[in-house]
Structure 1
Amino acid sequence: MALYSEKVMDHFRNPRNAGVIENADGIGEVGNARCGDIMKIYLKIENDIITDAKFETFGCGSAIASSSMATELIKGKPVSEALTLTNQAVAQALDGLPAHKLHCSVLAEEAIKKALQDYYEKKGMKL
């Protein structure tokens, strides 16, 4: 059995939404010193809809795939729906991650929530 699913390998080899959004409405950065993965998520939000999401990730294939899938899952969605995204949903959308790589999907969830928190703080609101 392969260590990674075809979807993980596809999102690693062909990441969706990689890059930076200039003047992003929300930015969330998280890192895990234990494994060395660092994720930065950028959001563009209009009328409480995530119109664009991009990421910069320094890390393993699972981290890149998790960032890619997480941004795909929230683009075009209302902020309220993006707030409910879980690491389990990211891992499931990737057809699973090895147990020792599940922390990558946790980082993706945390980065999105930090970006949304940043967005609310810039608007002078609480999340």
Structure 2
Amino acid sequence: MVEYNEKVLDHFFNPRNVGVIEDADGIGRLGDASCGDVFVMYIKVRGGRIVDIKYQVQGCGAAIATCSALSEIAKGKTLQEAWHLTDDDVAAELGGLPLEKLHCSNLAATVLYRAILDYVENWRGNLHDWQRLYQQLG
């Protein structure tokens, strides 16, 4: 049986920011066939900053906890700051994860990257602003 620390259990039993943003500016989707976890993450962006973030996840306790923790870390960050968040940042926010569940932090970070990319690819601003935004993520 996998043993989780108190912080992971708190995020599992009391997940933050769960739900859907109907008019999301970016949506990331990810499924992991090896473990059956499915993630969808929604972001709302204003002035280059993530002002709201929600997610839906079907998976194990670590999958739920990592999305919950990542949503708290990413909310309020600029797109560039959020783009540079890593699986290590997520695991550290949770006080660590069991070795066999570390991949969940990578999946959570990846679905956030996909939501940011979706936002950038669907950018409605002028070309110069889009190019600058895309370069900032680099």
- TM, length-normalised to structure 2: 0.88
Q: Which has the higher helix share?
A: 2
Provide the rounded CA distance (Å) in 1 between the counterparts of 2:75 and 2:123.
Answer: 20
TM-score normalized by the length of structure 1: 0.96
2:89: which partner in 1? 89
Where structure 1 has 5 or more consecutive residues not aligned to the other structure, the ranges are none
How far is 1:23 from its partner? 1.0
What is the identity percentage for the equivalent residue pairs of Structure 1 and Structure 2? Answer: 49
In 2, the alpha carbon distance for the partners of 1:48 and 1:89 equals 21
Q: Give the whole-Å Cα distance in 2 for the aligned partners of 1:101 and 1:31.
A: 15
Any runs of at least 4 consecutive aligned residues in structure 1 with deviations exceeding 2 A, and if so which?
A: 124-127
Q: Residues 36-47 of structure 1: matches in 2 within 5 Å?
A: 36-47=36-47
Q: Which amino acid aligns with 2:52?
A: D
Residue 114 of structure 2 corresponds to 114
Match of 1:24 in 2: 24
Matched residues in 2 for 1:98 and 1:51: separation? 31
- Identify unmatched segments of 5+ residues in structure 2: 125-129
SS of equivalent to 2:103: helix
Matches within 5 A, 1:7-86: 7-86=7-86
Paired with 2:17 and 2:35, the residues of 1 have a C-alpha distance of 23
Task: Give the drift of 1:14.
Answer: 0.2
Q: Aligned partners of 1:37, 1:49: CA distance in 2, in Å?
A: 28
- How far residue 87 of structure 1 moved from its aligned partner, in angstroms, is 0.2
Partner SS for 1:100: helix
Alignment RMSD: 1.2
Provide the rounded CA distance (Å) in 2 between the counterparts of 1:45 and 1:5: 32
